[in-house]
């Protein structure tokens, strides 16, 4: 498989980090596959195409007390999606972790039900949207409470690594792009 220079660099420079975190996160499967697999699959489903966050934004825009939150979240998701899907993913063009035959990522992916994704891996679109929305809520809201929005982003990142559809570095790259989207 031919890799872009950026994808090659990510795959070689961070191979140890990506694999060690994937193995650590996979321990959740060993602890309780009956709980973590359906729960983290559901969390990932909430990020599919950003639909949940977009619908939540529109619902929030219907009510005056939450209108600014809804608008801010929607704009943050849009900026994050543009950065991720229009600029970074086409340039990096990193294949998904489960595409590497015989890798620990592929083994986990098979064990967890072969969740497939249609686009490239870096950065995670699900995580970018979750982080952009969480950052927007944090910056817009009362910081004594609004920081809790980052729990959703954290769970999204764990779910993407758990299901072996993203490397740790894909999630970390999405944290960066999501924060940019949330701030802008």
| Residues 63-88 pLDDT 10s | 999 899 999 999 999 999 999 999 99
For 153, half-sphere exposure in the C-beta direction (CA atoms, 13 angstrom radius) is 29
CB atoms inside a 10 Å sphere around CB 127: 29
What is the per-residue pLDDT across 44-66, written as a single tens digit (0 to 9) for each? Answer: 998 888 888 999 999 999 999 98
- Please state, in angstroms and rounded to a whole number, the distance separating the CA atoms of residues 18 and 165: 12
Q: pLDDT band for position 15 (50/70/90)?
A: very high
For residue 6, give both structure tokens: 């950026």
What is the per-residue pLDDT across 153-171, written as a single tens digit (0 to 9) for each? Answer: 999 999 999 999 999 999 9
Give the predicted TM-score (pTM) of the model: 0.89
Sheet strands (E) in 43-162: none
C-alpha torsion sign, points 134, 26, 109, 41: negative
pLDDT of residue 146: 79
| Residue where the block lists tokens 């979750």 | 130
Q: pLDDT band for position 1 (50/70/90)?
A: low
């Amino acid at each position: 498989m031919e890799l872009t220079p950026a994808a090659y660099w990510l795959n070689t420079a961070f191979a140890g980090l990506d694999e060690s975190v994937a193995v650590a996160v996979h321990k959740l499967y060993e602890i309780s596959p009956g709980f973590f697999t359906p729960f983290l699959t559901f969390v990932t489903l909430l990020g599919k195409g950003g639909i949940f966050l977009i619908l939540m934004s529109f619902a929030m825009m219907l009510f005056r007390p939450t209108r600014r939150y809804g608008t801010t979240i929607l704009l943050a998701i849009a900026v994050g999606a543009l950065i991720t899907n229009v600029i970074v993913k086409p340039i990096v063009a990193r294949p998904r972790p489960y595409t590497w035959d015989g890798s620990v990522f592929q083994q986990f992916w098979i064990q967890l039900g072969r969740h497939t994704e249609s686009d490239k891996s870096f950065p995670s679109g699900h995580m970018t949207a979750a982080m952009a929305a969480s950052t927007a809520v944090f910056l817009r809201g009362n910081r004594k409470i609004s920081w809790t929005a980052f729990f959703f982003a954290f769970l999204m990142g764990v779910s993407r690594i758990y299901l072996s559809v993203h490397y740790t570095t894909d999630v970390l790259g999405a944290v960066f792009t999501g924060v940019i989207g949330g701030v802008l």
